[in-house]
Structure 1
């Protein structure tokens, strides 16, 4: 130890003894700062015995380095680019990849809807930006090698004759916890009424059973089923309904033979008084006489005109057709009518 160190230790001990001699009832803590001892009186509280001294380290704040924000991708897109490479499949809306000024939302305080950047409304709804005509054409070209050619001899008329029943179903592909979509169970069966072997009574009864499922313009009966949980079950149920309707329309109840002309839901020419009057007027009282009144062209026209007038109601067209059919039935022409009017 050097001489200066020994002198400092002696000076520190002398100060300690002097403090104890002056105040024996007080406890002093003597600390040395640099080379000069400092005596500090302790408080009346007990000192805390710290066996594990913790090293207090000053926490340094981390500096957040902000990276450089790149410009939107739309600023670097060429005009003649292939859009299918930019948006190849279904995905959420991304404003930096769509070079269109799209707006979405309902502004409360502004007159213009919000733009595409930081717009949550555009991310909520599904978009069809991947279904552009060039992309669809490219997909069709890729799938063409997996398809077979259409048969040469199967035209539209032959197809309807060989395959009268049309079954429509839908498949859905989307990301969800389950791969089964509830809309995929719906089955629609279509068939034309002319493809069913029905007589006059069965056809009328069939149409009354199906109700509004029959389209008179296209002559198509549509049956849609969605009660069962599976598609195959709904298909079987639809075919059962079609079979039950067909067989039920052919059933003739005992009370149906007792119906008169007043009880009929429609005007029937064959059982009407008008047919009997025409038969008597034309001189064919016997129904078995050849040729009968129903074989004459003017009688057929009169039958259609009277049936349309009674079933469809009176209007200008039905009245005109009825007038022309009556004139042909009685054998009057325009020149004869004008001569009768002058006389």
Structure 2
């Protein structure tokens, strides 16, 4: 081994230094010295180096199989190929589908590498044979349709309440559409079997949700986030309005004719005058009080029911050309006066 010690002066030049070498007596030191002398010789520069020949690999070409869509049999079971809803795959559909924008003078994009076909939901799993097979599978869980419900009138009689809701299928990260929570309940007012007091109170509770022409009460709920909650809510509203209309408060018994919100012909002077006129024409003398006049049956008076409807419509709906004409016709029929002839 050799030990080299360099002594540098602080201001001296690099050439002015003392180099002292101590060589230790060892075989490794001699070998290192000889090796260092050999490395100091000039090496020969080999510009044209000989490269070792490397055997090139021959690429083997595999036989490319035809597309799966071309190898499908025409009589295959499509339910096994496309059993449920999934993203469109061109190799699984043996149909020449096209989707996308068609520039002028060019053919529409095909099914391969077509992003438009993968965007929209498809119904390739709902073919008629598959639907028929699914219906046969769930038929064991269904009950037979009642034979008595063979018409719309029978259905309305036995099932008067109608529930309307909607389901949506759309391309979205969530399967729940906000519009699917809306539930509508419809029922005919005549099927509720309400008396006059209850009917009037029920109509005041539902407000403009009642259609007089169709006799339908429509209640719609969309305040709850789930369809089931809105369904329970519309059932609650119908039940609450029905039972509340049957209740008779104490203050309702003290209502007079001036407190009524509508014109009640049976409690007004019009009916009393009609009954008195009918009794006088038949030479009958009866001493009746107010309750007797209210409970008097006017069905025995000819054309009295038409007169009742005409007067009630005139007072409740207001004066119009139609209500005035109906009142004039009802009075002529009641008094036996011929109809008015219009000379042109």
TM-score, scaled to structure 2: 0.57
Contact 2:119 2:171 in 1 (8 A): no
Q: Which residue of 2 aligns with 1:207?
A: 203
Matched, 1:245 2:259: no
Q: Which residue of 2 aligns with 1:28?
A: 42
Q: Which residue of 2 aligns with 1:254?
A: 251
State the 1:302 CA deviation: 1.8
Q: Which residue of 1 aligns with 2:139?
A: 144
Residues 110 and 204 of structure 1: is their aligned pair in 2 closer, same or farther, counting only changes over 3 Å? farther
- Aligned pairs for 1:1-343 (under 5 A) are 27-30=41-44, 68=64, 70=66, 73=69, 88-94=83-89, 97=93, 99=95, 102-104=98-100, 115-117=109-111, 118-152=113-147, 165=161, 189-228=185-224, 234=230, 236-249=232-245, 250-252=247-249, 254=251, 257-258=254-255, 260=257, 264-283=260-279, 286=288, 288=292, 292-312=297-317, 318=323, 321-334=326-339
State the 1:304 CA deviation: 1.9
Secondary structure, counterpart of 1:327 in structure 2: helix
Question: Deviations for 1:258-309, whole angstroms, at most 9, x for unmatched residues?
Answer: 4645x65444322344334433443468474897435435110122233344
Secondary structure, counterpart of 2:43 in structure 1: strand
Residues 229 and 28 of structure 1: is their aligned pair in 2 closer, same or farther, counting only changes over 3 Å? same
Q: Which residue of 2 aligns with 1:46?
A: none
Greater CA drift, 25-34 or 145-154: 25-34
Q: Distance in 1 between matches of 2:321 and 2:100?
A: 53
Q: How many residues of Structure 1 are paired with residues of Structure 2 in the alignment?
A: 291
Contact 2:278 2:301 in 1 (8 A): no
Q: Distance in 1 between matches of 2:269 and 2:330?
A: 17
Secondary structure, counterpart of 1:29 in structure 2: coil
Contact 2:88 2:122 in 1 (8 A): yes
Unpaired segments ≥5 residues, structure 1: 1-19, 35-55
Residues 94 and 31 of structure 1: is their aligned pair in 2 closer, same or farther, counting only changes over 3 Å? closer
Residues 141 and 212 of structure 1: is their aligned pair in 2 closer, same or farther, counting only changes over 3 Å? farther
Q: Distance in 1 between matches of 2:105 and 2:311?
A: 64
State the 1:329 CA deviation: 0.9
Q: Distance in 2 between matches of 1:181 and 1:68?
A: 45
Contact 1:282 1:293 in 2 (8 A): no
Question: Deviations for 1:142-193, whole angstroms, at most 9, x for unmatched residues?
Answer: 3223322234456666765665555667789999999988777666555432
Q: Distance in 2 between matches of 1:310 and 1:112?
A: 73
Query: What RMSD, in angstroms, separates the aligned Cα atoms of the two structures?
Result: 5.4
Residues 292 and 65 of structure 1: is their aligned pair in 2 closer, same or farther, counting only changes over 3 Å? same
Contact 1:104 1:113 in 2 (8 A): no
State the 1:204 CA deviation: 1.7
Q: Distance in 1 between matches of 2:60 and 2:335?
A: 106
TM-score, scaled to structure 1: 0.57
Q: Distance in 2 between matches of 1:280 and 1:98?
A: 89
